[in-house]
Amino acid sequence: MMITSLFAAAMLSVTASAATAQDQDEFPMLLTSAQPFTLNPSRADPYRNFNFRVIWDGRIVSGVHYVSPLRLRTEPIEYRDGGDREAVRSVPGLTTYAAVTLRRGLTHAPEFQEWADQVSRRGQRRNLSNFRKAVRIEILNQEGSVAHAFNMFGCWPSEYIPISGLNALRDSMAEETMTLVCDAWERDRAVTEPAPRRK
């Protein structure tokens, strides 16, 4: 019985605090401060994952419909002070960047094949001056403006699949796939939230 009374008193206290906060206009202020969009404060939904483009060699790569997640991992290095018999501490170690897979519908666009040929060469000497590329991934809003961008450095294709598995019993699209290894990637912080277009 005592626990029930304490719970009821706590709920009354929370309700009273909420009412006080509303009276003091604190809730609207909190909602405003938590707004994730600054130039378009009326927007509430995040960006969609199907509005994007991939760019290398200064031009948009046609038909790319899938980009695997960008991942980085920093290995922890554990250590313990010689005089400390209990605590094991850690410091950041080597940072690695996961390979990124691109998929697109099979067309006659040659970008994937040409880049894969530069790396493989089938026993020939590679031209080390141009087999690595910088790749840019841009995320667009519904108006087509660039909202976020990521730059990948030192990329080269470690795997190339010129055509996906063929299956006459499935209604699906023929694809070509390329997996890119990169030295690093970073967010382009010069790209900021695009202002909404005026009608």
Taking the C-alpha atoms of residue 125 and residue 129, their distance in angstroms, rounded to an integer, is: 12
Block mean pLDDT (10 aa), the chain, length 199: 47 48 55 72 86 95 96 94 84 96 95 90 68 96 94 96 92 95 97 84
| Angle between helices 26-33 and 2-23 in degrees, nearest 10 | 80
Taking the C-alpha atoms of residue 78 and residue 87, their distance in angstroms, rounded to an integer, is: 10
DSSP structure class, residue 108: S
Total length of the chain: 199
Q: Let me know: does 116 contact 133? Beta carbons within 8 Å.
A: no
The whole-number pLDDT of residue 1 equals 47
| DSSP letter for each residue of 57-91 | TTEEPTTEEEEPPP-EEEEEEEE--TT-SS--EEE
Q: Which residues pair with 148 in a beta bridge?
A: 139
Q: What is the pTM (predicted TM-score) of this model?
A: 0.76
Helix (H) or strand (E) segment spanning residue 18: helix 2-23
Q: Beta-carbon neighbour count of residue 176 at 10 Å?
A: 21
Q: CA angle 116-122-68, nearest 5°?
A: 25
The whole-number pLDDT of residue 29 equals 57
Q: Let me know: does 37 contact 47? Beta carbons within 8 Å.
A: no
In this structure, which amino acid lies at residue 49? N
